[in-house]
Amino acid sequence: MLTWNELLQNRHSIRDFQEKDVPADLLQEILVETCKAPSASNQQPWRFVVTHDRALMKKLSDESKKNLVNLIENDPQTSPSLRRYEKVLRDPNFNVFYNAPCLVIIGGKNTYRHFAADCAIAATYFMLAATNRGLGTCWIGLGDQIHDAQLRAAINLPADYQIVAPIIIGYPNKIPAASAREKPIILNN
């Protein structure tokens, strides 16, 4: 087990994985720890979709890419941070899930007022629990636009649940150097 400081230092966004499956029992341990996350009024709104099916992950990737390109083309208010991905989103060979061995989608019922924040906290717990077990993760913001009813049914995601955190997980091929972090910006002290 890592110390808290080691855990924070060792968590990196991993996009390159070994061809090795994440054992179901290990993933279950991580999900149990994830559910220890705090939530508003203890609602615990998170639900998990887990898949090891790479063909399905590719379909989910293609669906999200299609919807993001549509957003870029049709919404003049689309953020510049999304627009910078337009070229890669149009590449039919690009998989937003980086051909990872496993995808865990954390989502919640959008009728709960704080479901998105609660699911984001759970996602943090998930990534830290995985890091503590020698696994790598990456929250894939480009993978949250799954609207097709048949694909949502294929992953048992009800229509009134919103994807908050699609996270890839596996054994890293290598650990990248830590990204630079800014000092806290305090607006009022």
> Domains along the chain?
12-170 (3.40.109.10)
66-118 pLDDT, tens digit per residue, is: 999 999 999 888 888 999 999 999 999 999 999 999 999 999 988 889 999 99
Residue 40 DSSP one-character state: G
Helix (H) or strand (E) segment spanning residue 115: helix 115-131
Write out the two tokens for 132.
């503590």
- The pTM is what? 0.94
pLDDT at 6 over 90: no
pLDDT score at 175: 85
End-to-end CA distance of the chain: 36
pLDDT score at 176: 84
Q: Mark 94-133 as b/e (b = at least 16 C-beta within 10 Å).
A: ebbbbebbbbbbbbbeeebeebbebbbbbbebbbbbbbbb
